[in-house]
Chains A and B, each alone.
Chain A
Amino acid sequence: MSARKKTKRKLTAETVRQKLKLKHLEARRRLSQIHPHVEKFFKSKGIDPGKVRQHSARILGAGAIAGTLLLNPPTNIKSLLPPHELFEKFKAQKKISERGQNEGLIVQILKSLLPERPRPLTYQEEKFLEQVFQNIIGVKSKASLEGEHLNTTYGYIGAEQHLRRFPGDSLYEHGKEILEEGMAPGLGAWGYFAFLKEDLTRDLIDIEKWYAVVQTLYLPDWNIRTRYLRDWYKYRKVLIVDTLNGKVVVAAVADSGPAAWTGKHFGGSPEVMDYLGGPTYKKGLVVLFFVDDPENKISLGPIEYNENIVPKLNN
């Protein structure tokens, strides 16, 4: 058995936390010794240099991205044709080219609108996409719902593991499909789905099967409105649209993450990821909006839509 395996067994979160805390102090001390003006600068602005991420979220949350960028507004904002014009344009192109590509209409629209590298979308871009999704996919979804908005609605989704649904739950109780991702060692952000196996309803089984992970921990007011936000996000339905293949799934938020330093912004259960991109799909570029479903009529799982059905267009 390797030294790492031997050590790992003895490791606890507390010992790791203590070790990292020391390294953290060391990193902070190094920076302030070599560049003392950094700490002075941030102090004069009233923020802790280590907490600049919260500061960023506050600015983004205030809608600064729309108009007050210090350098320039994002150059990769593409001009938005009204949805009906864009739809007609792509339909016409498709007829003319008679190409054998399977790219859906939605993929073409997203390609024409979204930058290659993810960034927080502008208000106008999000509003536009809401219309596109409702008209083509047929699901009413919103970037902002009941005043809540994620830090970003366009980003990378990464593969997550199954979540433990009740004490004693095992991987094999999750069904025959998609077991290779394994079971997450810890619990999801909302703990067990049920305290007893007998209390696990069909709805809860579906939630774990089709779950999404969003970065609630990085919301600017997470520490202020924790209780409200925890309740609001628990099992909140989201629409996930893969921007490269147009596949769409409705999932329920059941965990918080991923960490900001992974380069990912969302997570998907093994079933979500399998549907979006197949068994080898570990990371994908998606748009994620809240599903506006006050009457709870939309089921979790894949959304099959027919791109050839001419959608109803509002404008």
Chain B
Amino acid sequence: MSKLFYDHLITLDNLEREISKITETPEEKEEIWQIIDEMVHHRVLGCILDRLPKEHHHQFLSLFYECPYDEKILQFIEELVEDDIEDLIKKETKVFSQEILQEIFRKG
């Protein structure tokens, strides 16, 4: 695994701190990191596709497949959506972080 084009917008340090407190072995920690990573990915993709006009979805997915690390994908999206996509991704992941923390500490 390595870089995705939106990585610099995601800073869930608080979540990482909480997970470090819960896990005892590196394997446990890494497995949970991986689950969260995939969830972040689904959320970010959803956030972008919800706003990107449908006719551009295929092009976006192709760009993402070809160069998943390339931050210029954000420029491509910005030209096609009205909202500030970087800001939206940041907000979306903040909400996500709160949801996950709630879920972790939810009883039952």
Q: Residues of A with Cβ closer than 8 Å to B? A: 3-4, 7-8, 11-14, 16-17, 19-21, 23-24, 27-28, 30-31, 34-35, 37-38, 41-42, 45, 47, 49-57, 59-61, 64-65, 69-72, 117-120, 151-152, 158, 184-189, 215, 217-220, 255-264
With beta carbons under 8 angstroms apart, the residue of B4, B49, B76 that contacts A71 is B76
Q: Give every chain A residue within 8 A of B63 (Cβ-Cβ).
A: 70-71
Chain A's nearest CB lies how many Å from the CB of B30? Answer: 5
Q: Would you call A50 and B38 a contact (CB within 8 A)? A: yes
Q: Would you call B45 and A49 a contact (CB within 8 A)? A: yes
Q: Would you call B7 and A260 a contact (CB within 8 A)? A: yes
Interface residue SS majority, chain B: helix
Per the bound structure, the CA–CA distance linking A262 and B16 in Å amounts to 7
Known: A11-B22, A119-B71, A184-B20. A56 touches B32 (CB 8 A): no
Per the bound structure, the CA–CA distance linking A262 and B50 in Å amounts to 24
Interface residue SS majority, chain A: helix
Q: Would you call A21 and B8 a contact (CB within 8 A)? A: no
Check: B95 CB closer than 8 A to any chain A CB. no
10 interchain residue pairs of minimum CB distance: A57-B2, A218-B1, A53-B1, A50-B38, A263-B11, A151-B2, A56-B68, A13-B28, A70-B66, A27-B42
Besides A56-B1, A60-B2, 16 new A-B residue pairs in contact (Cβ under 8 A), listed by A number: A23-B99, A24-B42, A27-B39, A34-B46, A41-B61, A41-B65, A49-B45, A51-B38, A56-B2, A71-B72, A71-B76, A152-B3, A186-B28, A217-B1, A259-B37, A260-B10
Per the bound structure, the CA–CA distance linking A8 and B12 in Å amounts to 19
Q: Would you call B39 and A23 a contact (CB within 8 A)? A: yes
How many interface residues does chain B have, given as a range? 35 or more
Q: Give every chain B residue within 8 A of A50 (Cβ-Cβ).
A: 38, 41-42
Q: Give every chain A residue within 8 A of B107 (Cβ-Cβ).
A: 7
Chain B's nearest CB lies how many Å from the CB of A212? Answer: 15
Which residue on A lies nearest to B66, using beta carbons? Answer: A70
Chain A's nearest CB lies how many Å from the CB of B16? Answer: 5
Chain B, 46-80, contact with A by CB distance < 8 Å: what is the 0/1 string?
10011000000110010111111111110010000
Per the bound structure, the CA–CA distance linking A38 and B72 in Å amounts to 20
Which residue on B lies nearest to A152, using beta carbons? Answer: B3
Known: A20-B36, A34-B50. A28 touches B11 (CB 8 A): no
Q: Would you call A263 and B7 a contact (CB within 8 A)? A: yes
Q: Which of A17, A42, A72, A186 has the most CB of B within 10 A?
A: A186
With beta carbons under 8 angstroms apart, the residue of B26, B64, B100, B106 that contacts A52 is B64
Q: Give every chain A residue within 8 A of B35 (Cβ-Cβ).
A: 17, 20-21, 24
Check: B23 CB closer than 8 A to any chain A CB. yes
Known: A31-B46, A55-B68. A13 touches B24 (CB 8 A): yes
